[in-house]
Structure 1
Amino acid sequence: MTATAHGKELGSFLRSRRERITPDQVGIPPGTRRRTPGLRREEVAQLAGVGITWYTWLEQGRPINASAQVLAAVARTLRLTDAERDHLYRLAGVPQLLADVEPALDIPDELHAIVRALDPLPAVLVNARTDVLGWNRSYGALHHHLVSAPAAQRNTIWYLFTALQEHSRILNRDEQAPEVVAGFRYSYSQHLNDPQWRDFVARLRDASPLFARLWDTEDVAPPRLCDKHYDFPEIGEIRIRSTGMALVDHPGIRIVVHTPAEDRSRERIDRVLRRPDWSGRGRPPGSPVNGGGMGGTVSSVM
């Protein structure tokens, strides 16, 4: 990403955070002729102890030097969360966190073996952008349309926001969506120079008005996995809890495991796996079919 693009992201983020702070929150009389929904630039500059010209240029995205100490004062004034502060530092080019490393395309066989061994618990391998890199038989059965999608769309966030209503069985998407986008922005700011990330965001904005609206809020938060509720025809609601495990030896890759939230959901997952019309879904062509709800195969995207 160019310096100009970095500055545009930074300015947009600062404006969104400034506009959400009301004068009374920082002890400023509201007045009667305010044209901005939050603080004025000069008020932020005064409260942070920086020059109004410097802060204006910062918000305009001009190429100026910003120290960690000065950015910390701006972050305190704007009442940024820890995740938002880290996001601000990255946009300003002041390193605070080590960026995630994109994994190589070749996924070691032992990772596929681990995912396969987790069956009948649904498990999937994903990278920092949530591209699906591999999955086991149970995951393929529960997420048939996701794992069957073209490689460019085989991504959990893409699926959340673009799946056709008759394909998506997610019941609590509205609850998940804001958290997912805020967490994705947190990861996105660590990959600002990667054109693939920028292209992904642009394509997803075009494909999903909901994603575009949530992306424009500039909200940012540490990524976290959400409980998910699914509805399966003739079987009922399945509630799962997601657990993500980062792999120290393979930076950027996570194993995400879906655990039934209750005995009823566990029984219903097993029913999905035992149904003749579901048991083979999500398998790569030519792989063996395992009977019953146990066992499984693993597929991968290469």
Structure 2
Amino acid sequence: MTATTRTQFGDFLRSRRRKLTPDAAGLSGGRRRRTPGLRREEVAELAGIGVDWYVRLEQGRAVSPSEATLDALAQALRLDKAEAAHLRALARRDEAHEFVRESVPPAVERLVASLDLPAYVSGRRWDLLAWNAAAADLFGFDRLAEANRNILIYMFVEPEARRLFAANWSDEARRMIALFRASHDLHAGDPAFVALVERLCANSREFANWWSTHDVRSGVSGQKVIVHAQRGTQRYEYATFQANDDPALKLAIYTPVSADAGASSE
């Protein structure tokens, strides 16, 4: 692990430890606790590792946990599948190249433009790189300033997103943060990622508060309810795909579904 990923690894451990209750971990509550969550020695005992070793991990010091230790930590902290995968990804992460905004191959641009369904392409930092007329009509991407062509900036800074997602904005915004965290922590020291998070924290109190929880989720398909300015409330099913030319590129496609279709919880 690099110094940056060691810090992210430690921060993630700490956030999950503080979130886990003694009851959820199978421990008796014992005496009244001044702070929420488990103590470091309790996590170390549950994971079957030394307290000093665990403290070193949380502090981001130069230690390299084995696969067995990672499995034990994931079990001790009751991590779900996405959280456990994130912990392992941070532990394996080597020095990353400096982020460069991706470009979309012409063939992919033509494919997106040819689709009748709303579709767009984003990069690893969630920059909006290409979209079609249907996506422009649904989300208003054509009206975004160049500096705001990023899905998170759109969601937390642009008023259009709050109107579009209406009562569902908060749930969708928190879901996006948890999805982005999984990518961000692998590039946490990169100036481009630092600048993005700093801007979001400065411009959105909600983002700053939710970002501090360090929640992580994996990408899945699902449904979204969107309130269009002209067509009213609509429900869309969405799915995402990686491009073979550059796995950092992600194509999202939205398909309208009937209003009475059951909404996904994702």
The aligned residue for residue 110 of structure 1 is: 107
Residue 210 of structure 1 and its aligned partner are, at CA, apart by 1.0
The aligned residue for residue 216 of structure 1 is: 212
Q: Which moved more, 1:231-240 or 1:49-58?
A: 231-240
The aligned residue for residue 61 of structure 1 is: 60
The aligned residue for residue 12 of structure 2 is: 13
The aligned residue for residue 289 of structure 1 is: none
Residue 29 of structure 1 and its aligned partner are, at CA, apart by 2.2
What TM-score do the two structures reach when normalised by structure 2? Answer: 0.86
CA contact (8 A) 1:100 1:190 kept: no
CA contact (8 A) 2:93 2:186 kept: no
| 2:23 partner SS | helix
The structure with the greater share of residues assigned to helix is 2
The aligned residue for residue 183 of structure 1 is: 179
CA contact (8 A) 1:229 1:237 kept: yes
Q: Which 5+ residue runs of structure 2 have no aligned equivalent?
A: 261-266
Residue 77 of structure 1 and its aligned partner are, at CA, apart by 0.3
User: Greater RCO between the two (CA within 8 Å, min separation 6)?
Assistant: 1
The alpha-carbon distance between structure 1 residues 133 and 60, as it changes in their structure 2 partners (threshold 3 A), is: same
CA contact (8 A) 2:155 2:162 kept: no
Residue 37 of structure 1 and its aligned partner are, at CA, apart by 1.5
Instruction: State the alpha-carbon separation in 1 of the partners of residues 245 and 101 from structure 2.
Output: 12
CA RMSD in angstroms comes to 2.8
CA contact (8 A) 2:113 2:133 kept: yes
| 2:165 partner SS | coil
Larger Rg over CA atoms: 1
| 1:36 partner SS | coil
Instruction: State the alpha-carbon separation in 2 of the partners of residues 37 and 167 from structure 1.
Output: 32
The aligned residue for residue 135 of structure 1 is: 131
CA contact (8 A) 2:155 2:161 kept: no
The aligned residue for residue 163 of structure 1 is: 158
Residue 251 of structure 1 and its aligned partner are, at CA, apart by 1.7
The alpha-carbon distance between structure 1 residues 205 and 166, as it changes in their structure 2 partners (threshold 3 A), is: closer
- Percent identity, aligned pairs only, is 38
The alpha-carbon distance between structure 1 residues 28 and 235, as it changes in their structure 2 partners (threshold 3 A), is: closer
Residue 231 of structure 1 and its aligned partner are, at CA, apart by 2.1
CA contact (8 A) 1:184 1:223 kept: no
CA contact (8 A) 2:165 2:227 kept: yes
What TM-score do the two structures reach when normalised by structure 1? Answer: 0.76
The alignment of Structure 1 onto Structure 2 pairs a total of residues equal to 258
| 1:160 partner SS | helix
CA contact (8 A) 2:178 2:215 kept: yes
Instruction: State the alpha-carbon separation in 1 of the partners of residues 39 and 211 from structure 2.
Output: 23
1:112-146 C-alpha deviation (Å, 9 max, x unpaired):
21112112x111121122211111112112222x3
Letter in 1 for 2:219: P
Give runs of aligned pairs for residues 275-294 of structure 1, distance below 5 A: none
The reply on whether 1:150 has 2:162 as its aligned counterpart is no
